[in-house]
Amino acid sequence: MLYPKPPSQEPITHAKIQQMLSWAPRRFRLADIDPVLKPPDSHATDWNLVFPFRETFVPAFESACSVEHLNFMSKGQQTFCYTFLKNVSQEKIQALQTWLSTIHQVVAIRDCLALSFALDYDRMQGSPNMPRTEIGTLRSQAKPYDAHATAEHIVAAKELGRRCLNFLGVVGSYNSATAVVSVPSSDPTQGFSVPTEVAQVIAEGSKLQNLSTLVRTTRPRPGLKNLPVSEKLKTIQETIAVHGDLRGQNILLVDDLYQSGVTMNCVAMKLIEAGAKAVYGLACEKTCRNDANVSEVE
């Protein structure tokens, strides 16, 4: 097989999104584990590459790195997967080490999208008892909540967009994206949306077409936290509409906050129903909890 290759998209269904919520682990930073690239021992010639899970890590690697390797394998029920790199020069090993450093601190997310990253946690080390990260602080400064957006909100939102654009420029895994779409606000009457600002900065700084206006919230959504997942999915699906033909598009879907991922994955499902070939997720911030907006009631 020739590498790099674009991330491929599997079908997304309500059942798969519900199943996704039970997966463990759901997120990982390479900074929190031992080095994943290991040199051959004295009796071997192949380097060993290990990831905590297949989702996001494997497609991100295979779409950014031109390295010959065996198919990724897993042991039993364990989520981690590994491969051996074949006939790899020292130059390519160095290039791979450089690429791994680009995703060392970002949060890789395990969900239904072709690949899914967040720039950082909202709190340091993903712990709710720690101070906010720089990204978490920026997002807090960008979010007007119930107030009208000020110049300070806009400046912070645009800076989040620049941080996303910088990551896209170095990681290489999103190079096959053809358009950017922001996750629409839960209230279409709001005049300011952080994801909309982020998508605009990305479009202006790249060759991606901004198709965010094709994805709309048709009516305000009430708070969804106390709804069971099945009802939450139904509510999101009924209040989001895609107005346009997305056939053949590889969509970069951006949001400012990734909690459980239900909303982002449901929007991705709608994009695929409208013809999108694949959906690549990028969030500014990942909450410490994976179920931060999921009701325990089912």
Encoding tokens for residue 215? 């994805």
Q: pLDDT per residue over 169-217, tens digit each?
A: 999 999 999 999 999 999 888 889 999 999 999 999 999 999 999 999 9
Domain count, the chain: 2
What letter does residue 212 receive in the DSSP assignment? Answer: G
Residue 298 has pLDDT above 50, yes or no: no
Residue 297 has pLDDT above 50, yes or no: no
Say what the pLDDT of residue 1 is: 66
Same domain, 90 and 144: no
Q: Report the C-alpha gap between 125 and 131 in whole angstroms.
A: 9
Residues ≥6 apart with Cβ < 8 Å to 5? 62, 63
Mean pLDDT computed over every residue of the chain? 93
Same domain, 120 and 92: no
Among 105, 139, 168, give the residue marking a domain's end: 105
Same domain, 130 and 64: no
Q: pLDDT per residue over 234-253, tens digit each?
A: 889 899 999 999 999 999 99
- Work out whether strand 115-121 and strand 278-286 pair parallel, antiparallel, or are unpaired: parallel
Among 53, 86, 105, give the residue marking a domain's end: 105
Same domain, 53 and 92: yes
Same domain, 130 and 274: yes
The whole domain housing 159 covers 108-286
Q: pLDDT per residue over 39-60, tens digit each?
A: 998 888 899 999 999 999 999 9
Same domain, 172 and 59: no
Residues ≥6 apart with Cβ < 8 Å to 260? 21, 290, 291, 292, 293, 294
Same domain, 136 and 89: no
Q: pLDDT per residue over 129-159, tens digit each?
A: 999 999 999 999 999 887 789 999 999 999 9
Task: Say if 76 falls within a structural domain.
Answer: yes
Q: Return the CATH number at 279.
A: 3.40.50.2020
Q: Average pLDDT of 254-261?
A: 96
Same domain, 19 and 139: no
Among 83, 105, 127, give the residue marking a domain's end: 105
Say what the pLDDT of residue 294 is: 65
Task: Say if 9 falls within a structural domain.
Answer: no
| H or E stretch covering 152 | helix 151-171
Same domain, 185 and 277: yes
Same domain, 139 and 201: yes
Same domain, 192 and 146: yes
Cα(first)–Cα(last) distance of the chain, in Å? 44
Task: Say if 4 falls within a structural domain.
Answer: no
